[in-house]
Amino acid sequence: MTWVGRAVRRLEDPALVTGQGHFTADAPAAHWVRFVRSPVAAGKLANIKAPKGAMVITAADLTGVKKITPMLHKFSYRPVGQPLLAEGVVRFVGEPVAAVVGATAAEAEDISDQVELSIDTAPAVSDARTALHKSAPQIHPEAPGNVILEGQVKTPGFDAAWYGAHTIVKVEVRSRRQNATPMEPRGGHASYEASSGRATLTCSTQMPHLTRTAICDVLGFPESDLRVIAPDVGGGFGQKMSLASEYAMLVWLARKLKGSVAWIEDRRENLIAGFHSRDQYITLEGAFDKNAKLTALKADIVANVGAYSCFPTTCGVEPLMAMAEMPGPYDVQQYQCLARGVITNTCTMAPYRGVSRPVITFAIERLMDKAAHTYGMDPVDIRRRNLIDRFPYKSVMGLEYDEATYKETLEMAVKAIDVPGFRKRQKEGRANGRHFGIGFATFSERTGYGSHAFAARGMEITPGWEMVTVTVDPSGFVEARIGCSPHGQGLRTTLAQIIADELGITPEKIKVVHGDTDRAPYGWGTFGSRSLVISGGAILIAARKVRAKLLKIASHLLEVAPGDIVLADGMAIVAGTDRTIPIAKLAREAYTQTHRFKGEIEPGLTETGHYDPPGTFSNACHVAIVDVDVDTGQVRVEKFLVAEDAGRIINPMIADGQVHGGIAQGIGNALLEEIIYDENGGILTATLADYLPPTAHEIPEIELHHIETPSQNSVTRAKGLGEGGTIGAPAAVINAINDALSPFGVEINEMPATPQRIRSVLRKAQKRA
């Protein structure tokens, strides 16, 4: 029996359920920081008046500090720099303008209230389409027309396919702006040690090493003088994979004050300035032949990237992913796309769980449903005709899809949900004034991709690979050090399961160390559904090397060939005999009895693994059943069903948990969550009473069905699945709402589909009638 594939209880949990976790806010500090933030969206910063005697740092104090300037070398990217504190100009509400230091957090906040800002307010623009107008305010001189990047593609056969089409179907979708809203807001604690001249930054991040690299670049000192620790991190979902300028400020202050200094973001700061995402307009047109087969796809993507470009991905991450992955799970040979990233006077955008895929899946799944309607077909049938079913498949954008189960998961979901039974209930409901709807979303989730995939975007910082070390210490316990930086995914457990199988020991004997640049090897962190695939792959590679060495040592001691020895239950066993040696003894010998190995085995028991895979595609079909109250616009998600395939599952309990959590966010994105700016760039959603993550009430029971197609692009055969829930759910829910509303002849193509928006389309229909 293997550890992999079992619902092993998490090694992370005992500390977390007893209040023994270590989160950033738990450490005391000598000084506390409060950031004074711009109250206006645009303007010239004429003067900052600090109260007498207070320590108030402004841009003028930051001599020699560079701006954060992420870089892309493609797509007409115009680099724009973000100062740690506003330099003469403010560009969004919430932008840090000054850093106030006090003895306590409360004192720092009191002082910050007394800092007077004189700002000559200028016209602001918060909507991306408006920002494209000739008359719109110009936000950065480096990005004329407010366009920071532009991607274009057109396949040679596009025009022929387009003009030869039987039917063209068009949808215009809008995704409103969202905030990942981890339950723990961001925060950092920096300290300085005079004896070594080193600073330590403990912060709530998904990427400790990159945080170190970026801060040392901006502040101008060697990386060896900075230790970055990601302790327990209370969720991230992408928001904590981009560099917080505030963290660089903390390190600067700790070095200046030669002491400890902390800033814990409050919820208002997080909602207005903690990175946003998903603010996009997509116009998507599909050319279909007479059999409703998609022959060409035409997309226009306008992504609002906010006021600056995020580090390290740059603001290209949303528009360029949308361009590259728009066709999703559908076979289409011809493609034309224009993708633009547009600067506005709003909070900077950063990746959020799924990045652009929740939006492009929403777009293409609306397109498919609309096409089905146009052809008088069932939504399931049109998907059957268009889903990819031969592998490896090369997409029109050159992505190689490994084997997956797009059609099989669709059929599995259709069978499990009982579509005929639902249609009957829907019909009966309509006769009684009830409006039930069913919605499907099929999608591909590109996961675990390495440096070659990222290089296609032309990123100056090109992530992808991972590196690990696995050590068996002289007492027989294992320590694995990884560059990924999990924050709730249970990676300590799943990686321990992989090692346990290779080394024949129990997961409890294995400690996975992460989130500390002094202890873990350089790595890119945890994001993009990559950690289990890439760090897990590197772990498997390293563990196999350790296993080989253990067998070699056992072979010396037992005087049999390594091939005759198995490692199991903590023992090296000569196969078919009762001759054994404890693995702990082998480990001890590896350090203390090396003279016995006649120079044939190197001392110690540490091995390194590197992994840089090409990427693997998970897939799923989501089905939502909703109940829409047409009088109030209220939507209740009655049932949610998933048929998914993420390759080999390492821990089914943890995998299901990722899917549940992703779907809950997707339902929130579909129905509730929206960051709203007014016409002056003021932000109206600064509390959790205005920005609404779903509660237990809004999330129905989620029924999961699994297929496991082992990936040939992943050494563990596992595919990533962290984002899939969020990718499919908005499309499934909003397709279901449209199905429910079909008797009214209306469409809703906006997420979130709030009661107001649903009532608005219904009112328009009633007026027409």
Partner 1 sequence: MSQKTAITLTINGRDHAIAVEPRRTLADAIREDCGQTGTHIGCEHGICGACTVIMDGEPVRSCLMFAVQADGRKIRTVEGLANGEKLHPMQQAFMDHHGLQCGFCTPGFLMLAVGVLEREPEISDSDLLDVLSSNLCRCTGYQNIIKAVRAAAKEMRTR
Specify the stretch interacting with partner 1 by CB under 8 A; choose among 36-44, 50-58, 482-490, 583-591. 482-490
How far apart are the C-alpha atoms of 68 and 244, rounded to whole Å? Answer: 10
182 near partner 1, rule: CB under 8 A:
yes
Could you tell me the smallest distance in angstroms from the CB atom of residue 417 to partner 1? 18
Could you tell me the smallest distance in angstroms from the CB atom of residue 489 to partner 1? 7
663 near partner 1, rule: CB under 8 A:
yes
Specify the stretch interacting with partner 1 by CB under 8 A; choose among 218-226, 431-439, 578-586, 696-704. 696-704
By beta-carbon proximity to partner 1, the closer residue of 412 and 637 is 637
State the Cα angle at 680 between 676 and 684, rounded to 5°.
30
Could you tell me the smallest distance in angstroms from the CB atom of residue 227 to partner 1? 22
631 near partner 1, rule: CB under 8 A:
no
644 near partner 1, rule: CB under 8 A:
no
728 near partner 1, rule: CB under 8 A:
no
Of 534, 528, 430, 520, nearest to 483 (Cα)? Answer: 520
Token duo for residue 662: 């992703």
183 near partner 1, rule: CB under 8 A:
yes
DSSP symbols for 100-137: EEESSHHHHHHHHHH-EEEEEE------HHHHTSTTSP
Please identify which residue in 185, 306, 521, 615 interacts with partner 1, judged by CB under 8 A: 185
Q: Name beta bridge partners: 710.
A: none
CB 353 within 8 A of CB 274: no
CB 671 within 8 A of CB 439: no
Q: Name beta bridge partners: 751.
A: 175
Exposed, middle or buried, 743 (CB in 10 Å: 0-12/13-18/19+)? exposed
Could you tell me the smallest distance in angstroms from the CB atom of residue 490 to partner 1? 7
Please identify which residue in 66, 67, 452, 660 interacts with partner 1, judged by CB under 8 A: 660
Please identify which residue in 25, 108, 546, 637 interacts with partner 1, judged by CB under 8 A: 25
Token duo for residue 668: 């929130």
Please identify which residue in 646, 664, 727, 734 interacts with partner 1, judged by CB under 8 A: 664
Specify the stretch interacting with partner 1 by CB under 8 A; choose among 222-230, 300-308, 319-327, 649-657. 649-657
Could you tell me the smallest distance in angstroms from the CB atom of residue 644 to partner 1? 14
How far apart are the C-alpha atoms of 43 and 289, rounded to whole Å? Answer: 52
Token duo for residue 471: 């050590």
Please identify which residue in 433, 701, 743, 769 interacts with partner 1, judged by CB under 8 A: 701
Specify the stretch interacting with partner 1 by CB under 8 A; choose among 179-187, 355-363, 383-391, 532-540. 179-187
Please identify which residue in 47, 195, 291, 687 interacts with partner 1, judged by CB under 8 A: 687
490 near partner 1, rule: CB under 8 A:
yes
How far apart are the C-alpha atoms of 564 and 547, rounded to whole Å? Answer: 13
Q: Which residue has the tokens 């009966």?
A: 428
171: left (phi over 0), alpha (psi -120 to 50) or beta: beta
Could you tell me the smallest distance in angstroms from the CB atom of residue 704 to partner 1? 10
How far apart are the C-alpha atoms of 371 and 388, rounded to whole Å? Answer: 18
Q: Which residues contact 385 (CB under 8 A, 6 or more apart)?
A: 291, 292, 293
How far apart are the C-alpha atoms of 403 and 96, rounded to whole Å? Answer: 47
Q: By CB under 8 A, what part of segment 88-127 binds partner 1?
A: 106, 110
Of 151, 66, 56, 68, nearest to 108 (Cα)? Answer: 56
DSSP-assigned letter for residue 403: S
Could you tell me the smallest distance in angstroms from the CB atom of residue 184 to partner 1? 4
17 near partner 1, rule: CB under 8 A:
yes
By beta-carbon proximity to partner 1, the closer residue of 270 and 395 is 270
| Integer CA distances (angstroms), 474 to 477, 567, 749, in order | 8, 17, 61
Binding mask 232-261 for partner 1 (x = CB under 8 A): xxxx-x------------------------
By beta-carbon proximity to partner 1, the closer residue of 208 and 464 is 208
Which residues of the chain form contacts with partner 1 (CB under 8 A)? 9-10, 12-21, 23, 25-26, 28, 106, 110, 181-185, 232-235, 237, 266-267, 487-490, 653-654, 656-657, 660-665, 687-689, 693, 695-697, 699, 701-702, 725
